[in-house]
Amino acid sequence: MSDDAAVRLWLGWRANQLASSESGWKSFKKSLAETFIPATWEIMSGFGLRTYVPSVFSPTGADGLPEEVALLCYSTEQDYEASKASVVGRAYAVMHRALFEFDAAARKSKAAWAGSQDPNKPTLRAAAGGGKRFKDAGAVLHVLLLACGEHAPSAQAIAGALAGQTGSLAIWCQPRFALVWIAAAEPLEQTLVCAPVLAALPGASVAAFHQAVVAPAIDQLRGVPAVDRQSWHFHR
């Protein structure tokens, strides 16, 4: 049984033109549901995307928490890189600029592979003891967003606090927040997951805790239902 070898994580903030009003947030969510999320699944499935968990949180300020994040599990990193040599793959990359901010330092949307040796990149802990992997069909995926204030979060401390979880674990720490993705065999109770993590991170609080909902079939006219404080789980 192989591990989740090609897990890519995404942190996103709305583009500046969508960040100034309530109508901008509504437009952002509508574009995610009707175009961006279904396009990600349909286009990148041709380049090895097998599990996709997009999450929409709450609108935030100029230096706030991420507003849309995702876990994407590919067959291999090479499959993903192959998208850059195709017209449709490049068009998908360009589409990000219409919705997401890439220039503001505090709100710079970005993606990275989990599990590299670079301490500045996300951490990936493989499933153990028969635990579920992100790419397993029967896995129940959870997403935890932690607000950490002035205290820089520690991936090592978070992983230690979740030592009792046998499923795959991905962690991406930033100066003021941390994202945690957990694969499990069944739904996890929020208190049992979050209590040990908060005990290991003084000053941290839970900004969001999602159990990803199995995504519906994509409607070619409407995309998928708009998500708000929710995560979808696409799998093939």
Residue 44 CA to residue 92 CA, distance in Å, equals: 9
Chain-centroid distance, C-alpha 140:
14
pLDDT at 119 over 80: no
In this predicted structure, the answer to whether residue 230 has a pLDDT above a threshold of 50 is: yes
The model's pTM:
0.96
Neighbouring residues of 227: CB distance < 8 A, sequence distance ≥ 6: 29, 32, 33, 37, 54, 55, 56
Number of domains within the chain: 1
Domain containing 152 — which CATH number?
3.30.70.100
Which domain range does residue 151 map to?
7-235
Inform me whether the pLDDT recorded for 2 exceeds 70.
no
What pLDDT score was predicted for residue 1?
A: 41
Whether 100 maps to a domain, the answer reads: yes
pLDDT, average across residues 181-189: 98
- 1 is a domain residue: no
Among 132, 114, 127, 135, smallest CA distance to 179 is for 114
Position 203 pLDDT exceeds 60: yes
Provide the CB-side half-sphere exposure for 126 (13 A, CA): 10
Q: Tokens 């070619």 — which residue?
A: 220
Higher local confidence (pLDDT), 226 or 38: 38
pLDDT at 157: 96
**107-121, 129-143, 168-182, 221-235: least confidently modelled range:** 107-121
To the nearest whole number, what is the mean pLDDT of the chain? 94
Is 75 inside a domain boundary?
yes
- The pLDDT value recorded for residue 149 is 86
Distance between CA 195 and CA 220 in Å, rounded? Answer: 42
pLDDT higher than threshold 90 for residue 116: no
First to last CA, the chain: 17
Q: In this structure, which amino acid lies at residue 206?
A: V
The DSSP secondary-structure symbol of 121 reads S
